[in-house]
Amino acid sequence: MKVSRRQFLGTSATAVLVAGTMAKGKVFGANDRIGVGVMGIHGRGGSHISGFIGEDGSEVVALCDVDQHVLDGRVKEVTEKQGAAPAAYVDIRDMLENDAVDAISIATPNHWHSLGTIWACQQGKHVYVEKPLSHNIWEGRQLVAAAEKYNCVVQHGTQRRSEPNWMVNIKALHDGIIGDVYMARALCYKNRNSIGFRPDEDPPDYLDWNLWQGPAQARAYCGNYVHYNWHWFWAYGNGDIGNQGVHQMDVGVWGMNKGLPTEVFSTGGRYTYEDQGETANTQVATMRYDDGTLLVFEVRGRSTNDESGVRVGNLFYGSEGYFVEGQGFFNTKGEPIPVEAEAPPSKGAYGNFLHAIRTREPGDIHGNALDGHLAAAHCHLANVAYRTGVSLRFDPEKERFVGDHKRKANRLLTRDYRAPFTVPKLA
């Protein structure tokens, strides 16, 4: 189902989305070009642009950004690299009405990821969405429902899902190479310096501040939000556990293969300086699954040692040995365990996404909507526990907190959305 611009802007946008039928979409042959639109093109979006231009089967036909200076610069860049000028948009809703756009990639701040993906699915567009897939747990579940309802390919931007060595290692874990895995550790040790303090002020005339805020509640513009430090404010970002950390969280979740945990506790703070940031620069989160196994995540944003040579990466521990990223598997005596397996084929993150659009085979999606939701949800659970300051119990089936403190915690499962940028209830 396609929805008009007028319906997008209407106050009944949620009802329109819910009433939609499953989108059939185009059928692409092996040699057919897939037109891609990229939304959010300042930082990571530049990598999306280069990635799709580098694929034989795609063309970047549209760009979207709320910063006119960024948009103009990227249009010039794509035109020079590709030999054809992309259409330029400030508003994603206008880009989604372009029939030349078959798929979009989203590299905006986190608070736009779910809504942008859902709107694209509603319009029959496939989506490569940057990590984390969601800004909160509730909207992530609605995104999963949208991908299914509108029959669209959605691939999450956790690229390790497309790396053959990780596919081999995770299969070895699941096959029992180190016995029963009882704990995973995920590490994000990246130095993060103070962002200082900046005053509220009028937004620059080249920035559409209303669209930048989108689903978030309206607030005054601050130069510390645009273009990167939004990561450290709860209204827009999820801290480093939901920034760099979601890559390592995804590997931990993938390796443990348990779904969502039943208990979570997290503590930490913003240490060694005072600044405007709100999220933790140092954080430890422990998540316990129903069978008692654990996933432990550590963010260290200040000076620190490494862990067995790992600063940003993963470790797994089992009854018969352990795994260290970059070093391999070891038995209980610390001796290397060889992995005898042929690496599966992979076209890389962008190539795999395009391939999945052509085949429409669910197994060809490397990091589908549900995978992305589970990885992001672990990050969100850790942040809810951090913000409430208590140990929490969680129902993985209902995706709700239970027991003591549930009211306080459940309020952080979603947010108050700002019309017309309201994430629709689909699940």
**Averaged over 108-118, what is the pLDDT?**
98
Pick the CATH number of 164-195+225-344+376-408 from 3.40.640.10, 2.40.50.140, 3.40.50.11540, 3.30.360.10: 3.30.360.10
Q: Look at residue 30 in the predicted model and tell me its pLDDT.
A: 74
pLDDT at 211: 98
Arithmetic mean of pLDDT, 206-220: 98
In the predicted structure, residue 103 carries a pLDDT above the cut 70: yes
Q: What's the mean pLDDT in 212-218?
A: 98
CATH number of 5-161+349-368: 3.40.50.720
Q: DSSP label at 342?
A: P
pLDDT at 330 over 70: yes
Evaluate whether 5-161+349-368 and 164-195+225-344+376-408 have a shared fold. no
The answer to whether residue 230 scores a pLDDT higher than 90 is yes
Rounded CA-CA distance 83/327 in Å is 43
**Do strands 294-300 and 87-89 pair parallel, antiparallel, or not at all (unpaired)?**
unpaired
- What is the pTM for the complete model shown? 0.94
Residue 315: which residues within 8 A CB-CB, separation 6 or more? Answer: 184, 185, 187, 307, 308, 322, 323, 324, 325
Average pLDDT, the chain: 94
Q: How does DSSP classify residue 307?
A: B
6 pLDDT more than 90: no
Q: What is the mean pLDDT of residues 322-333?
A: 98
What pLDDT, on a 0 to 100 scale, did the predictor assign at position 31? 75
Identify how many contiguous H helices and E strands the chain contains and give both numbers: 13, 18
State the pLDDT confidence band at 25, using cuts at 50, 70 and 90.
low
Q: What is the pLDDT of residues 71-94, one digit of tens each?
A: 999 999 999 999 999 999 999 999
Bridge-based pairing state of the strands 312-318 and 321-324: antiparallel
Instruction: Work out the average pLDDT over 305-330.
Output: 98
236-295: pLDDT as tens digits = 999 999 999 999 999 999 999 999 999 999 999 999 999 999 999 999 999 999 999 999
pLDDT value at 18 more than 90: no
